[in-house]
Structure 1
Amino acid sequence: MEQMTFQSLLHKGLKRFGELPAITLLPNEKTLTYKELIEKAERISSYLIQLGIGRGTHVATLIPNSLESVIFSLAIQQCGATTVPMGEKLGTREVDLILKESKPKVVIMATQPHVATILDYLEDSKDPQVQIIGLPGFCVNYPDTFKLFEWPEETVDVDLPIASTEDLALLAYTGGTTGTPKGVMHSQKGLAAGLISAAIEDPLDDRDRLLLSTPLVHSAGSLLWRSLVSGVHVYIMPSFHPVHFIQAIKEYKITTTFLVPTMLYRLIDLTKKMDYDVSSMRNIYYGASPISQERLREAFEVFGPIMRQQYGMTECNIVINRFSKSAHLWAYHNNPEALKSCGKPCLLTEVRLIDEEGNEVKPLELGEIIVKSPAMMEGYYQRPELTRETIRDGWLYTGDIGMKDESGYIYIKDRKKDMIISGGMNVYSSEVERVVNRHPAVSLSACIGVPHPDWGEAVCVVVTLREGFNCTDEEVIHFCKERTSKYMVPKFIYFQDTFPLTPLGKVDKKELKKLYVQGITTIK
Structure 2
Amino acid sequence: MTQKKTFQSLLTKGLKRFGDLPALTLLPAETTFTYHELLEKTERISKYLLRLGVGRGTHVATIIPNSLEGVVFGLAVQQCGATIVPLGEKLGNREVKFILHESKPKVLIMATQQHVATTLQYVEEENNSDVRIIGLPGFGIEYPERFEIFDWSEETTDPAVECQVALEDDIAILSYTGGTTGTPKGVMHTQKGLWAAVLSAAIEDPLDDREKLLLSTPLVHSAGSLLWRSLMSGVHVYVMPTFHPVSFMQTIKAYKITTTFMVPTMLYRLLGVTKKMEYDVSSMRNIYYGASPISQERLKEAFEVFGPIMRQQYGMTECNIVISRLSKSAHYWAYHNKPEVLKSCGKPCLLTEIRMVDKEGNDVKPFELGEIIVKSPAMMIGYYQKPELTEETIRDGWLHTGDIGMFDESGYIYIKDRKKDMIISGGMNVYSSEVERVVNQHPAVSLSACIGVSDPDWGESVCVVVTIKEGARCSEEDIIAFCKQNTSKYMVPKNVYFRESLPLTPIGKVDKKELKKMYVEGLLSVN
- The two structures share one fold, judged by TM-score above 0.5: yes
Measured after TM superposition, the shift of residue 477 of structure 1 is 1.1
Q: CA contact under 8 A between 1:310 and 1:321: conserved in structure 2?
A: yes
- The C-alpha deviation readout for 1:127-163, integer Å capped at 9, x for no partner, is 2211100000001100011000012325211211110
The AA in structure 1 aligned to 2:365 is K
Report the equivalent of 2:155.
153
Q: Which of residues 337, 340, 365 is equivalent to 1:337?
A: 340
Q: CA contact under 8 A between 1:43 and 1:156: conserved in structure 2?
A: no
- The C-alpha deviation readout for 1:410-449, integer Å capped at 9, x for no partner, is 0000000000000000000000110111111110000001
Aligned partners of 1:490 and 1:329: how far apart in 2? 34
- State percent identity of aligned pairs: 76
Report the equivalent of 1:502.
505
Q: Does 1:452 align with 2:455?
A: yes
Q: Which of residues 337, 349, 352 is equivalent to 2:352?
A: 349
- The C-alpha deviation readout for 1:211-246, integer Å capped at 9, x for no partner, is 000000000011001111000000000000000000
The AA in structure 1 aligned to 2:379 is M
Task: For residue 300 of structure 1, give the secondary structure of its aligned residue in structure 2.
Answer: helix
Task: For residue 486 of structure 2, give the secondary structure of its aligned residue in structure 1.
Answer: coil
Task: For residue 250 of structure 2, give the secondary structure of its aligned residue in structure 1.
Answer: helix
Report the equivalent of 2:103.
102
Q: Give 5+ residue unaligned stretches, structure 2.
A: none
The AA in structure 2 aligned to 1:21 is P
Q: Does 1:315 align with 2:310?
A: no
Measured after TM superposition, the shift of residue 307 of structure 1 is 0.4
The AA in structure 1 aligned to 2:32 is T
Give me the TM-score of the superposition, normalised by structure 1.
0.99
- The C-alpha deviation readout for 1:27-81, integer Å capped at 9, x for no partner, is 0111111111111111111111111110000000000000110000111111100
Measured after TM superposition, the shift of residue 522 of structure 1 is 4.9
Measured after TM superposition, the shift of residue 406 of structure 1 is 0.1
**What is the number of residues matched between the two proteins?**
524
Q: Does 1:391 align with 2:394?
A: yes
Task: For residue 24 of structure 1, give the secondary structure of its aligned residue in structure 2.
Answer: strand
Greater shift in the superposed pair: 121-130 or 487-496: 121-130
Report the equivalent of 2:126.
125
Aligned partners of 1:474 and 1:131: how far apart in 2? 58
Q: Does 1:305 align with 2:321?
A: no
Report the equivalent of 1:163.
166
Task: For residue 482 of structure 1, give the secondary structure of its aligned residue in structure 2.
Answer: helix
Aligned partners of 1:76 and 1:178: how far apart in 2? 30
Q: Does 1:370 align with 2:363?
A: no
Q: Which of residues 389, 412, 416 is equivalent to 1:413?
A: 416
Aligned partners of 1:129 and 1:49: how far apart in 2? 14
Aligned partners of 1:123 and 1:148: how far apart in 2? 18
Report the equivalent of 1:37.
38
CA 1:186/1:523 → structure 2, altered by over 3 Å: closer, same or farther?
Answer: farther
The AA in structure 2 aligned to 1:109 is M
- The C-alpha deviation readout for 1:311-343, integer Å capped at 9, x for no partner, is 000000111000000000111011111110000
Matches within 5 A, 1:177-196: 177=180, 179-196=182-199
Aligned partners of 2:483 and 2:209: how far apart in 1? 48
Measured after TM superposition, the shift of residue 521 of structure 1 is 4.0
Aligned partners of 1:196 and 1:247: how far apart in 2? 32
- The C-alpha deviation readout for 1:159-209, integer Å capped at 9, x for no partner, is 111100000100000042352110000000000000011001111100000
Aligned partners of 2:499 and 2:50: how far apart in 1? 51
Aligned partners of 1:120 and 1:306: how far apart in 2? 47
Report the equivalent of 2:116.
115
Task: For residue 507 of structure 1, give the secondary structure of its aligned residue in structure 2.
Answer: coil
Report the equivalent of 1:3.
4
Aligned partners of 2:275 and 2:174: how far apart in 1? 42
- The C-alpha deviation readout for 1:453-481, integer Å capped at 9, x for no partner, is 11111110111011111011111111111
Report the equivalent of 2:520.
517
Aligned partners of 2:45 and 2:59: how far apart in 1? 16
Aligned partners of 1:25 and 1:183: how far apart in 2? 30
Report the equivalent of 1:275.
278
Report the equivalent of 1:77.
78
Measured after TM superposition, the shift of residue 352 of structure 1 is 0.2
Q: CA contact under 8 A between 1:26 and 1:237: conserved in structure 2?
A: yes
Q: CA contact under 8 A between 2:3 and 2:9: conserved in structure 1?
A: no
Matches within 5 A, 1:45-56: 45-56=46-57
Aligned partners of 1:426 and 1:413: how far apart in 2? 11
Q: Does 1:435 align with 2:442?
A: no
Q: Does 1:212 align with 2:176?
A: no
The AA in structure 2 aligned to 1:399 is G
Give me the TM-score of the superposition, normalised by structure 2.
0.98
Q: Which of residues 243, 262, 278 is equivalent to 2:246?
A: 243
Q: Does 1:469 align with 2:472?
A: yes
Report the equivalent of 2:234.
231
The AA in structure 2 aligned to 1:129 is D
Greater shift in the superposed pair: 433-442 or 177-186: 177-186
Aligned partners of 1:75 and 1:226: how far apart in 2? 15
Aligned partners of 1:449 and 1:372: how far apart in 2? 31
Q: CA contact under 8 A between 2:171 and 2:188: conserved in structure 1?
A: yes
Aligned partners of 2:476 and 2:523: how far apart in 1? 20
Aligned partners of 2:122 and 2:151: how far apart in 1? 23
Q: CA contact under 8 A between 2:371 and 2:400: conserved in structure 1?
A: yes
Task: For residue 56 of structure 1, give the secondary structure of its aligned residue in structure 2.
Answer: coil
Report the equivalent of 1:134.
135
CA 1:396/1:178 → structure 2, altered by over 3 Å: closer, same or farther?
Answer: closer
Q: CA contact under 8 A between 2:496 and 2:526: conserved in structure 1?
A: no
Measured after TM superposition, the shift of residue 452 of structure 1 is 1.0
Aligned partners of 2:524 and 2:176: how far apart in 1? 28
Aligned partners of 2:461 and 2:83: how far apart in 1? 44
Q: Does 1:482 align with 2:482?
A: no
Aligned partners of 1:337 and 1:408: how far apart in 2? 13
Q: CA contact under 8 A between 1:63 and 1:109: conserved in structure 2?
A: yes
